[in-house]
Amino acid sequence: MPKTVLIIEDDNEINSMLRTLLRTNGFQAISAFSGTEGVLVHGENVDLILLDLMLPGRSGDEIIGELKAKKNVPVIVMSAIVDTSKKVDLFSLGADDYITKPFDNDELIARITARLRTQAPGVKPAAKMLTYKAISLDPDSFIATCNDIELDLSKHEFLLLQLLVKNHNRTCTKSMIYDTVWDYENSADDNTLNVHISKLRKKLKECDPDTDYIETVWGIGYRLKK
């Protein structure tokens, strides 16, 4: 039986394009044109939601929790916003994926298919805990601990530590860090990165005084010490 996708998008042309794209690829599509309408339309027949952020009345980020509470299905946010901290906020609110406008149609269909394949309706899988020595990170709750002590991290500090832990067997280049943690925001530069690394080192040292976790690879980037 074809899966049903709820499109919550106020732009008529984009909404119509998405309906056609979905139906061409074997999905059923339902359209809503505001946040309030999206919540009302969402129901047991919906398997996945495509959610625009800039909606009339109630914005997309305002209704994610309500949509999830009504029926917990994958929510893919569609937006032109590239600010990493904003994306982190959306994931903490319950979004399952994010695609930046303008997007490639094939990529969108691939993301929808992947979400429907790996996630049973009504069940949100927990993200895998990340660990390295005494460090543990929960990507779902954005909580990091060291020696079982919770670290007080900013969003960028958490994303930076997460990147280092995920890639503990390799060096994270500055370019890789800027792309992943700051998404090439204009505010990101060597000084910004150095400050964040310094703060991370200090916070980790406070929890685990006998261990140095982060080392500098001069001229290249940073990595976790083996």
**217 falls in which pLDDT band (50, 70, 90)?**
very high
**Res 129: pLDDT:** 85
In a domain, 104, yes or no: yes
Domain boundary among 69, 87, 118: 118
Domain count, the chain: 2
Q: Are residues 142 and 93 in the same domain?
A: no
**155 falls in which pLDDT band (50, 70, 90)?**
confident
**Res 77: pLDDT:** 92
Sign of CA dihedral 205, 211, 217, 223: negative
* Mean pLDDT confidence for 87-110: 85
Q: Are residues 58 and 97 in the same domain?
A: yes
In a domain, 123, yes or no: no
**Res 51: pLDDT:** 95
**Res 121: pLDDT:** 47
Q: Are residues 175 and 219 in the same domain?
A: yes
Q: Are residues 98 and 151 in the same domain?
A: no
Q: DSSP string of the chain?
A: ---EEEEE-S-HHHHHHHHHHHHHTT-EEEEE-SHHHHHHH--TT--EEEEESS-SSS-HHHHHHHHHHH----EEEEES---HHHHHHHHHHT--EEEESS--HHHHHHHHHHHHHHS-TT--PPPPPEEETTEEEETTTTEEEETTEE----HHHHHHHHHHHHTTTS-EEHHHHIIIIITT-TT--HHHHHHHHHHHHHHHHHH-TT---EEEETTTEEEE--
In a domain, 125, yes or no: no
* Mean pLDDT confidence for 130-155: 90
Q: What's 161's domain CATH number?
A: 1.10.10.10
Angle ∠(32,22,90) on CA atoms, nearest 5: 55
In a domain, 124, yes or no: no
Q: Are residues 68 and 136 in the same domain?
A: no
Distances (CA, A) of 99 to 133, 142, 221: 33, 20, 28
* Mean pLDDT confidence for 120-131: 62
pLDDT digits (tens, 9 = 90+) for 167-204: 888 898 888 888 778 765 455 688 889 999 999 999 99
pLDDT digits (tens, 9 = 90+) for 5-42: 999 999 999 999 999 999 999 999 999 999 999 999 99
Q: Are residues 70 and 151 in the same domain?
A: no
In a domain, 87, yes or no: yes
Q: Are residues 111 and 145 in the same domain?
A: no
**82 falls in which pLDDT band (50, 70, 90)?**
low
Q: What's 19's domain CATH number?
A: 3.40.50.2300
* pTM as predicted: 0.54
Residues in Cβ contact with 30 at an 8 Å cutoff, skipping those fewer than 6 apart: 4, 5, 6, 7, 41, 45, 46
State which residues form the domain around 180: 130-224
Distances (CA, A) of 201 to 6, 9, 206: 45, 43, 9
Q: Are residues 8 and 108 in the same domain?
A: yes
Domain boundary among 65, 88, 118: 118
Q: Are residues 110 and 16 in the same domain?
A: yes
Q: Are strands 221-224 and 172-173 parallel, antiparallel or unpaired?
A: antiparallel
Domain boundary among 65, 93, 118: 118
Q: Are residues 142 and 101 in the same domain?
A: no
Q: Are residues 91 and 174 in the same domain?
A: no
**Res 187: pLDDT:** 56
175 contacts 217 by C-beta, under 8 angstroms: no
Q: Are residues 17 and 110 in the same domain?
A: yes
